[in-house]
Amino acid sequence: MKRRIAFSLAFVLFVLPLTAFAQKTQRVAFIIHGGAGVISRGSLSPEQETAYRRKLEEALLAGYKVLQEGKTSLDAVEIAIRMLEDSPLFNAGKGAVFTADGKNELDASIMDGKTLKAGAVAGLRRIKNPILLARKVMENSPHVMMTGDGAEKFAQTQGFAFVPPSYFWTKPRWDALQQIIREEAAKAKGKKIGEFRSPASQNERYGTVGAVALDKNGDLAAGTSTGGMTYKKFGRVGDAPIIGAGTYADNRTCGISATGWGEFFIRIGVARDISALVEYKGVPIQQAVDEVIQKKLQNLGGDGGVIALDKNGNIGISFNSEGMYRAYIDENGKPVVKIYKD
């Protein structure tokens, strides 16, 4: 009896340290994107390509540092997306595209995989960083989504400072709008203009930024932010602020952030569909994202892509466009930045 007790005690003393070690070494993981579209080799100048790569790596490392410091996946997602929103290179925040009436309207969402709480905002015109307001909606309100003037009134109660609409004006986005206006006018007159949209204007028409993180506690989070679609009309809202379409996170399955032609992502609930494949069929994350993007989305006629992390930190990336700005931390803790199809 004494020998059995001694053995049990020794077993407990041996196993407990291993358990504690396993908890301490939970692999953190981080991945971001800067939008998908007509991004073929040669479409960017060497200077432009360098600028995109630097900014993606900067945002990636900032989010990863947060995770290494032991902060939450939500914190990592927030800081990386905020940095991309502050850059005029991407269609979010400062670099937002223009609507048909020459305005900028911004959308964002964020989701906590631990609690399944989520926050989203749409149609913002005076909020510098929509992702910050989306998180406040999640944490400080009983709602999931707020839009337009109502969302900005809520922002006032949360102490947000507004920026003037001119803050979002950038020449490349304005020029893209004018190009599409000319092409729309030519089409209305029955003139042939190639494939209707020039590669340059098509590349400017869509775009989103997003991030997915897994922290040391095993909690997933995902977020997405966008300026929408160039030349959009009538208060159009895409998939980025819609939970289950452009953003989703569940600790039991995976975290997803999407980018592309939002109407198609909404119709098939891209982000939730990927999570469902993992949850109900046990499909590996890369297979799941390919199933939805390369088959379901493709067959419907939509284009774009997703980034994903499963509950173990495995990465999934899939897109059916010519390119997608993306960056992730590999298994050795090193940053990997890509733009084109490999």
Domains of the chain: 26-340 (3.60.20.30)
Residue 167 has pLDDT above 90, yes or no: yes
pLDDT at 115 over 70: yes
Choosing from 72, 208, 226, 230, the catalytic residue is 208
Looking at per-residue pLDDT, the higher value among 197 and 325 belongs to: 325
Sheet holding 209-214, edge to edge: 145-147, 118-124, 106-112, 220-226, 209-214, 29-37, 323-329, 335-340
Q: Name the DSSP letter for residue 315.
A: E
pLDDT band at 192 (very low <50, low <70, confident <90, very high): low
What pLDDT is recorded for position 42?
A: 82
**How much of the chain is helix, strand and coil, in % rounded to 5?**
45, 20, 35
Q: State how far the Cα of 316 lies from the Cα of 278, in Å rounded to an integer.
A: 12
Q: What is the pLDDT of residue 8?
A: 47
Q: For the chain, how long is the longest CA-to-CA vector?
A: 96
Question: Any idea what DSSP says for residue 94?
Answer: G
Q: Is the pLDDT of residue 284 over 80?
A: yes
Q: Report the alpha-carbon distance of residue 267 to residue 257 in Å, rounded.
A: 16
pLDDT digits (tens, 9 = 90+) for 30-66: 999 999 987 888 889 999 999 999 999 999 999 999 9
**Residues 6+ away with beta carbon under 8 Å from 110:** 74, 77, 78, 118, 119, 120, 131, 134, 135, 138, 221, 222, 223, 224, 247
Looking at the DSSP assignment, which residues form a beta bridge with residue 308?
256, 316
Residue 76, pLDDT > 70, answer: yes
- Determine the pLDDT at residue 190: 80
Distance CA 126, CA 104 (A): 9
- Find the mean pLDDT for residues 149-161: 98
Question: How confident is the model at residue 25, as a pLDDT?
Answer: 56
pLDDT at 182 over 90: yes
Active site (annotated) includes residue 115: no
**CB 221 within 8 Å of CB 74:** yes
Q: Give, for 248, the enclosing helix (H) or strand (E).
A: strand 247-249
Return the structure tokens found at 213.
Answer: 């993180």
Mean pLDDT for all residues in the chain = 90
Residue 79 has pLDDT above 50, yes or no: yes
User: What local confidence, expressed as pLDDT, does residue 205 receive?
Assistant: 53
Would you give the distance in Å from CA 59 to the centre of its chain?
Answer: 12
Computed over its alpha carbons, how large is the radius of gyration of the chain? 21
CA-to-CA distance for 313 and 132, rounded, in angstroms? 25
Structure tokens at 20: 């504690």
Angstrom distance (rounded) from CA 6 to CA 11: 9
Q: Which of 37-51, 100-114, 128-142, 275-289 has the lowest mean pLDDT?
A: 37-51
The yes-or-no verdict on residue 325 having pLDDT over 60 is yes
pLDDT above 80 for 304 = yes
Kindly report, residue by residue over 127-148, the tens digit of the pLDDT: 999 999 999 999 999 999 999 9
pLDDT score for 206: 63
Question: What is the average per-residue pLDDT within 202-211?
Answer: 73
Closest CA to 313 of 31, 27, 23, 24: 27
- What lies within 8 Å, CB to CB, of 4 at 6+ separation is none
CA distances from residue 85 to 127, 149, 183, 224 in whole angstroms, order as listed? 11, 20, 28, 10
Mean pLDDT throughout 209-226? Answer: 98
Is a pLDDT exceeding 80 seen at residue 159?
Answer: yes
Residues 6+ apart with CB under 8 A from 163: 126, 127, 128
Helix (H) / strand (E) containing 187: helix 171-188
Which residues make beta-bridge pairs with 328? 31, 336
